[in-house]
Structure 1
């Protein structure tokens, strides 16, 4: 009876702790979601959702769409350049905005940021389940969830990045449903995994990687199952493939609207996206098509807390040691096969980018979906160190010191998140501020323009204020005004001429300060000593 009571107590307490963690996380998101500006991509992403919503409405009630006074402002799906971008997130959000925001841009972006964060929390839950499953303890699952939350750049982007963060969350969810399928390959779980795969694909077509990984992992699973179960795994793979295809088509109206020949051409365009923008990398302004092979690895290192990286390397090292000692036998356990999945999840996309050199830009945001794998390997590193500390006394001081280093890294990351709010998207882990200022892109999303506009409005009581921002971020001044109250928006006038009352700049593509002829710098936003936005006032104002 005492043992049974103890089991029930710890089971109950773990539910309260985990439930409390996610409740606090949701509350934090609801509290903070209105603090962030509007990022570069958000208006166009929303338009993509509206384009698909218009297409669906035309299928059901074309007369009603024709009577809408603003319908002509939304392009037809056949003529919209970005219609080949998935809308699994943007389409439902467009419908929610129609119901709840009634054309109010401030209400819409508040809703949008809250929804992005909710999807992020879903991804954290999936990561928690993966770590809990692999290490057979809710405590290790909670550590993985904390590590992702306490990653400053990801914390900020969890409120506004409706592409990369949403894709990361849904990709992680798909990996979790994959591991459940591998554990117990039922037809129902195959259908559920097909649905989560489709959600990832319908945000980014690169989600098709989940299909390849699923089929490979099912094949690997068959090697370690009795012969009589292999035909069942084959059926499960077939059901999954059909479900993934059907749900992908159902969730992507673009696939309904174009003939297959054009879809094949669109797939090629997506795989070789013709981005002609530039980035700042080690002080040089480079085209997105000219980046060196080390661009992605460097950005991962300089924007991830260093203790996480070092411990993830320990996790990879522990896996390699096990492979060297046991060979293929290490894959005979489910935990061993999960380790192979996590290692592949982290390393294969990076190696493909290094080898194939597709267009990537704005840091490593196109590969954010691998970050949960890095977190899982960090947890594996801590788990290995804890095992060493328990089983090998001579190594105990080293192992405990490494564990304390990770704990210190988490505390420091939490402090930076609180101190740098709401500009954690400009976090650098190991770079001195002056070096980061001169050598790398800073606030490339343009969120700091919101706080710049708010400062201008608070310190200049004129009924009309003209503002200007130099190329290439000029439109971001207007974009960030959309989340301001209507009375504040009404006071702003946006101009394409530098003789405006105020000039705002986030230093995009620029490594040096502006000359004195620009005006008097009256306000500066700095994050950890790095200037990310300046407000200049024209002489005579």
Structure 2
């Protein structure tokens, strides 16, 4: 027993320690995504508002950075959860030289650190559900081996951070259901507030909590009195409300009922661009019901998806055979929660036509549940592989093919670095280019700018782009001396034109100049650099 405990501590320590070291090594390689500058501004807006309330906050309020920062009542995106953004602003002020490059490098490492924390929560969930820390660690490993999630774990301060905190909240929920105490209710309430302070959709954790406690009350082996449930509910509600208010200054400036308005705004977010999907440009209101399932299918490694289907299928068969008796075990009740976590939000989006865009990133928070079901499917295959007959042969063949394909995925992560965000699971590059959006984060512009800087020694480099946002954003992470050489020049006089392929599957016109460089990853063209004579 002691030896097993040491093996667990050593293995998990090595895994998560190595993951953090990997983040420290690689976080400098990624560009600045489309939303990051506006997200940073959201953090500044909220810090400015807090400073205005403090007796000693006047010097902060008059700082040059905050003089040009909008008021929280005038900033259109102030309703977005600001907790991470405020933290990044404060840490950047304390730890960096206040240059934009230093800020974004720190920000990227902070996001990856939270991604690692989310992987740890996933590990704990798997170990709790499957009663073996090794299965939990496998789940965390599958998350790291998911190319798009690995890449976005460095720069996606919305969806990845929300996924991590949501996973942590689900862990605290399962602990609460295991032993409903006031202390655990307070911890779970704070975890719920953390998720809500990133995205208002964290409100659904309240519903998950109600369902989880009801399952425990109805089918749990340990009796839970109504008085105990009331105490737990009050502690949870109080901690959630206090935590949300503490981390969301927007609610200080308005009122608590604004939260409902924010929720409605999030569901019907007025996003005016189009999605390039299945070879067509579609407005968000025109997206078909299969938009989310298809994007999940083409961006999740195929063995993970198939294993999850196998895991869910096995659980449904077990539930059908045992009926309500399946809920008499903690594992059975946890399985119900994981199934609701995976399928509930997806069905809501598909049935209510909730605004989604840029793939399925708004539902990234359900991915840990899918991975847990994948681990369950793998566990079932391992058990079958120990039997006799043709089932053993089939299971071993499936495991072998899955290991080979997962190894191939790991190789692709290395080969595509730092553009794992254009990973398509089984689609050929040429097919993906014609059917789906590519670099919708605009990260390739950093490597495009770096190529121009390295191959042209002119003191001033004139550059044009279709949208100036990704050019500006990615110039901010360049060293100051390189940043000073870049001059955005709209019109036809710029010497260089950086062409992305977010909404442009076809080739560009020759009038832009000669294509002197192209960035490709996984057979997909990410960006082209054109030069005029």
Residue 418 of structure 2 corresponds to which residue in structure 1?
A: 422
Shift of 1:261: 5.6
Deviates more, 1:61-70 or 1:402-411: 61-70
Cα distance change on mapping 1:506 and 1:177 into 2, 3 Å: same
Q: Take 1:187 and 1:261, find their aligned partners in 2: how far apart are those partners?
A: 27
1:345 equivalenced with 2:344 (yes/no): no
Residue 43 of structure 1 corresponds to which residue in structure 2?
A: 37
Q: Take 1:260 and 1:314, find their aligned partners in 2: how far apart are those partners?
A: 44
Q: Take 2:259 and 2:132, find their aligned partners in 1: how far apart are those partners?
A: 45
Q: Take 1:134 and 1:265, find their aligned partners in 2: how far apart are those partners?
A: 36
Residue 508 of structure 1 corresponds to which residue in structure 2?
A: 502
Aligned residue-pair number: 531
Residue 159 of structure 2 corresponds to which residue in structure 1?
A: 164
Residue 308 of structure 2 corresponds to which residue in structure 1?
A: 312
Residue 535 of structure 1 corresponds to which residue in structure 2?
A: 529
Shift of 1:102: 3.6
State how 1:80-119 maps to structure 2 within 5 Å.
80-119=75-114
1:10 equivalenced with 2:8 (yes/no): no
1:520 equivalenced with 2:520 (yes/no): no
Equivalent position to 2:474, from 480, 483, 502: 480
Shift of 1:403: 1.8
Shift of 1:260: 4.5
Deviates more, 1:480-489 or 1:7-16: 7-16
Structure 2 residue matching 1:285: 3-state secondary structure: strand
Question: Runs of 4+ in structure 1 displaced over 6 angstroms?
Answer: none
Cα shift readout 1:57-105 (whole Å, capped 9, x = no counterpart) = 1111343245323322111111100000001211111111121224200
Equivalent position to 1:68, from 63, 67, 76: 63
Contact 1:308 1:409 (8 Å CA) reproduced: no
Shift of 1:431: 0.9
Q: Take 1:278 and 1:10, find their aligned partners in 2: how far apart are those partners?
A: 53
Question: What's the Cα RMSD here?
Answer: 1.3
Cα shift readout 1:102-131 (whole Å, capped 9, x = no counterpart) = 420010000000000000000000000000
Shift of 1:230: 4.2
Q: Take 1:467 and 1:300, find their aligned partners in 2: how far apart are those partners?
A: 36
Cα shift readout 1:430-489 (whole Å, capped 9, x = no counterpart) = 11111111111000000010000000000000000000111xx32211110100100100
Cα distance change on mapping 1:235 and 1:66 into 2, 3 Å: closer
Residue 50 of structure 2 corresponds to which residue in structure 1?
A: 56
Equivalent position to 1:29, from 16, 23, 37: 23
Shift of 1:399: 1.3
Shift of 1:506: 1.1
Deviates more, 1:400-409 or 1:144-153: 400-409
Shift of 1:323: 1.0
Q: Take 1:265 and 1:185, find their aligned partners in 2: how far apart are those partners?
A: 32
Q: Take 1:512 and 1:287, find their aligned partners in 2: how far apart are those partners?
A: 20
1:446 equivalenced with 2:424 (yes/no): no
Contact 1:300 1:364 (8 Å CA) reproduced: yes
State how 1:143-222 maps to structure 2 within 5 Å.
143-222=138-217
Contact 1:218 1:237 (8 Å CA) reproduced: no
Residue 461 of structure 2 corresponds to which residue in structure 1?
A: 465
Equivalent position to 2:240, from 239, 244, 261: 244
Equivalent position to 2:14, from 4, 20, 33: 20
Q: Take 2:224 and 2:105, find their aligned partners in 1: how far apart are those partners?
A: 54
Structure 2 residue matching 1:311: 3-state secondary structure: helix
Q: Take 1:182 and 1:392, find their aligned partners in 2: how far apart are those partners?
A: 39
Q: Take 1:191 and 1:263, find their aligned partners in 2: how far apart are those partners?
A: 21
Structure 1 residue matching 2:386: 3-state secondary structure: helix
State how 1:330-409 maps to structure 2 within 5 Å.
330-391=326-387, 393-409=389-405
State how 1:228-307 maps to structure 2 within 5 Å.
229-260=225-256, 262-307=258-303
Shift of 1:392: 5.0
Contact 2:146 2:301 (8 Å CA) reproduced: yes
Deviates more, 1:390-399 or 1:202-211: 390-399
Residue 137 of structure 2 corresponds to which residue in structure 1?
A: 142
TM-score normalised by length of structure 1: 0.96
Shift of 1:267: 3.2
TM-score normalised by length of structure 2: 0.97
Residue 4 of structure 1 corresponds to which residue in structure 2?
A: none
Structure 2 residue matching 1:338: 3-state secondary structure: helix
Q: Take 2:227 and 2:258, find their aligned partners in 1: how far apart are those partners?
A: 37
Residue 317 of structure 2 corresponds to which residue in structure 1?
A: 321
Structure 2 residue matching 1:89: 3-state secondary structure: helix
Structure 2 residue matching 1:483: 3-state secondary structure: coil
Q: Take 2:389 and 2:493, find their aligned partners in 1: how far apart are those partners?
A: 70
Cα distance change on mapping 1:138 and 1:259 into 2, 3 Å: closer
Contact 2:201 2:263 (8 Å CA) reproduced: no
Q: Take 1:47 and 1:309, find their aligned partners in 2: how far apart are those partners?
A: 37
Shift of 1:259: 3.2
Contact 2:173 2:188 (8 Å CA) reproduced: yes
Shift of 1:202: 0.5
Shift of 1:229: 3.4
Contact 2:251 2:258 (8 Å CA) reproduced: no
Residue 497 of structure 1 corresponds to which residue in structure 2?
A: 491
Structure 1 residue matching 2:83: 3-state secondary structure: coil
